[in-house]
């Protein structure tokens, strides 16, 4: 096959073609990151998993997990404070580790946001069914119906207006969190104020159990980086994006610490332990005589999972968009909606895949299993992306002549902390088929590397052009 030299489609970090610039303020960016973390998802489904390992130390495991990821956020913000572009984390890693590293990081993030988006579709289904059961509507509604409803509405909103979809995620997640906090205060104060000394003294908590729990806690917090994907559309991006990254992590982390304490406290002495409850918040509402909250809580969880899918769709499409404009993907995926200035082609392609995977998957297993497996699959991608950003930051700072002992130490600590969930993902060896998931992820990476190799050989000059484009300076905010 004849090699062809083609130029990368022109982009700039300051004014990305086709997208509206300066339309997303700090609240919208914060909403994007918080929605992708999905505080509701952790409160309703993941805290019981952390409790199964940490027991009375669940709240502390979340505090440790938040602290660990703040080191990753610090590395990420070394880039976010200096430059911005659409799909920024892809661009950040490209600036530090070169175009191949950047493209593979973008490929990895597409895996992450795809499977977290699938978790959003399945969570929407789980709590949609729960809400219908509570109002007396029973029946075998296919999972694909719920997937389709959530996917179609998410697609329509993201294509219509990025500001609308971003702020809607804040409103939906905010309403859900307020309902959960309302229940939490009922649990804490219904029978007076009592300090849970078992939790405060970490009664029965082991170092091994705490280590395993931190793995679940870190996975609860992934997604805080997603505000960086909107670098081309953010207002004052060099200031607002770093703030959104850190504050989303801090706010979500403190919420998880608080809810970990509340759920352990509220379920003590009950008929079932926290780790055996499939819907712990509904159980607490019933035990504490506020059963009327079960329906609002289920509806709140349902719309929160919808917001999660919405957020993943927005973030993933803004990774596809610059990669298409860099000719890594077909140029058609780099087209924007003429009137709305949103990456419509990327959004449409991504949501079709996001819907199709669980629709086929649900013919072979139940929805909760898909939710758990999708989260596990996404975790491998997030770990790799965070490792890459922790390595890329000092490399990039050295190129700029700005590397210091402090920034080097932060990078090293981030890498060491990331080893905790990495080791926890492989040991002890999970049961089949979860034991196959790392190999599935490695296969996906190999396919991405093969695609990039073939593309670079067919279109010589792509990689140098990508590197040149990623190094374009960003004007001050």
Report pLDDT digits (tens) over 343-379. Answer: 899 999 999 999 999 999 999 899 999 998 998 899 8
Least confident piece of the model among 15-24, 150-159, 301-310, 363-372? 15-24
Q: Where are the domains of the chain?
A: 4-470
**What is the pLDDT averaged over residues 54-77?**
95
**Gap between the Cα atoms of 313 and 310, Å rounded:** 5
Cβ 292 vs Cβ 298: under 8 Å? no
**What is the pLDDT averaged over residues 414-421?**
91
For residue 308, the model assigns a pLDDT of 92
Check whether 131 has a pLDDT greater than 90: yes
For residue 203, the model assigns a pLDDT of 94
Topology of domain 4-470, CATH: Amino acid/polyamine transporter I (1.20.1740)
Beta-bridged to residue 190, according to DSSP, are 192
For residue 87, the model assigns a pLDDT of 61
Report pLDDT digits (tens) over 245-265. Answer: 999 999 999 999 999 999 999
For residue 91, the model assigns a pLDDT of 84
Q: Which of 376, 348, 390 is nearest to 68 (CA)?
A: 390
The larger pLDDT score, comparing residue 99 to residue 86, is at: 99
For residue 309, the model assigns a pLDDT of 94
Least confident piece of the model among 123-137, 322-336, 379-393? 322-336
Reported as a pLDDT band with limits 50, 70 and 90, residue 10 is very low
**Gap between the Cα atoms of 363 and 233, Å rounded:** 39
For residue 1, the model assigns a pLDDT of 39
What is the pLDDT of the chain when averaged over all its residues? 88
For residue 13, the model assigns a pLDDT of 43
**Gap between the Cα atoms of 110 and 377, Å rounded:** 12
Q: What are phi and psi of 272, to 5 degrees?
A: -130, 145
Report pLDDT digits (tens) over 193-245. Answer: 788 999 999 999 988 888 888 888 988 999 898 888 888 788 899 999 999 99
Report pLDDT digits (tens) over 156-207. Answer: 999 987 778 878 888 888 899 999 999 999 999 987 778 899 999 999 998 8
**What is the pLDDT averaged over residues 43-64?**
93
Cβ 445 vs Cβ 438: under 8 Å? no
Reported as a pLDDT band with limits 50, 70 and 90, residue 17 is low
Q: Which two tokens stand for residue 102?
A: 């950047």
């Amino acid at each position: 096959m004849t090699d062809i030299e083609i130029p990368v489609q022109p982009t700039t970090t300051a004014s990305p073609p086709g997208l509206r610039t300066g339309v997303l303020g700090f609240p919208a960016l914060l909403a994007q990151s918080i929605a992708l973390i999905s505080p509701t998802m952790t409160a309703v489904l993941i805290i019981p998993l952390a409790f199964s390992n940490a027991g009375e130390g669940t709240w502390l495991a979340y505090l440790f997990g938040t602290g660990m990821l703040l080191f990753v956020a610090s590395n990420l913000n070394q880039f976010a404070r200096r430059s911005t572009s659409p799909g920024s984390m892809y661009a950040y890693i490209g600036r530090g580790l070169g175009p191949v590293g950047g493209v593979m990081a973008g490929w990895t993030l597409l895996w992450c946001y795809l499977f977290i988006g699938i978790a959003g579709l399945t969570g929407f289904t789980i709590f949609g069914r729960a809400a219908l059961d509570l109002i007396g509507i029973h029946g075998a509604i296919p999972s694909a119906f719920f997937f389709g409803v959530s996917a179609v509405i998410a697609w329509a909103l993201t294509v219509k207006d990025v500001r609308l979809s971003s702020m809607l995620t804040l409103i939906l997640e905010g309403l859900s969190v307020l309902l959960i906090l309302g229940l939490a205060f009922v649990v804490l104060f219904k029978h007076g104020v009592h300090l849970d000394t078992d939790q405060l003294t970490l009664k029965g908590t082991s170092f091994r159990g705490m280590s395993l729990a931190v793995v679940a806690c870190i996975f609860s917090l992934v997604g805080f980086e997603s505000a960086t994907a909107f670098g081309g559309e953010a207002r004052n991006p060099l200031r607002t994006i770093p703030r959104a990254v850190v504050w989303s992590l801090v706010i979500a982390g403190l919420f998880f610490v608080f809810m970990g304490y509340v759920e352990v406290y509220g379920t003590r002495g009950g008929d079932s332990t926290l780790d055996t409850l499939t819907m712990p918040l509904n159980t607490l509402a019933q035990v504490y005589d506020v059963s009327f909250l079960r329906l609002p809580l289920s509806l709140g969880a349902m719309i929160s999972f919808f917001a999660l899918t919405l957020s993943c769709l927005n973030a993933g499409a803004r990774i596809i968009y610059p990669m298409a404009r860099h000719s890594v993907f077909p140029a058609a995926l780099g087209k924007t909606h003429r009137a709305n200035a949103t990456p419509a082609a990327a959004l449409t392609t991504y949501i079709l895949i996001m819907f199709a995977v669980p629709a086929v998957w649900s013919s072979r297993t139940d929805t909760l299993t898909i939710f758990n497996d999708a989260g596990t699959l996404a975790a491998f991608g997030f770990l790799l992306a965070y490792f890459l950003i922790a390595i890329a930051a000092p490399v990039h700072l050295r190129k700029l002549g700005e590397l210091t002992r402090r920034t080097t130490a932060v990078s090293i600590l981030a890498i060491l902390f990331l080893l905790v969930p990495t080791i926890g993902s492989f040991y002890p060896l999970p049961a089949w088929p979860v034991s196959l998931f790392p190999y599935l992820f490695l296969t996906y990476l190999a396919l991405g590397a093969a695609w990039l190799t073939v593309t670079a050989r067919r279109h010589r000059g792509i990689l140098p052009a990508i590197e040149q484009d990623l190094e374009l300076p960003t004007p001050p905010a």
